[in-house]
Amino acid sequence: MENIHSALVKFNLDQKITVTTAHSLSVMETSYPPSSGTFRTDLNGVMSPVLDFLAKTCSPFLINAYPFFAFERNPKDVSLDFVLFQPNAGVVDFGNNLRYDNMLLR
């Protein structure tokens, strides 16, 4: 990512094109509720430099979230309707008081 970004800087394209990469949901230790999201500690050595780069370049952090996995890991607390994007299935995250209409949107 750094090499690609450096090439974009060289050609003055870094303000038009951002460099990022998508991550698997498996990088998350905790993903529900969203306010308590944490990365797996065994990945700190990998995730820290990636996040530093993304912050430095104002690039987005992307994650391939497969909503069913959140339900599968925690069926007592995560509503199946919430992860399947059913109407009126939103929840309030009591960690930050934000209402999420589904697992990915607030």
Q: How far apart are CA 75 and CA 93, in angstroms?
A: 16
Q: Are 61 and 100 in contact (CB under 8 A)?
A: no
Give dist(CA 45, CA 19) in Å, integer.
20
Please give the pLDDT value at position 98.
Answer: 85
Q: Is residue 105 part of a domain?
A: no
Per-residue pLDDT tens, the chain, 106 aa: give them: 999 999 999 999 999 999 999 998 889 898 777 788 899 999 999 999 999 999 999 999 998 877 677 778 778 877 777 777 777 777 788 888 888 777 665 5
Tally of structural domains, the chain: 1
Would you call 78 exposed, middle or buried from its count of C-beta atoms within 10 A (0-12, 13-18, 19+)?
buried
**Amino acid 65: pLDDT:** 74
Dump pLDDT digits (tens) for 68-88: 777 787 788 777 777 777 777
Q: Examine residue 44 and state whether it is found in any structural domain, yes or no.
A: yes
**Is the CB of residue 102 less than 8 Å from the CB of residue 82?**
yes
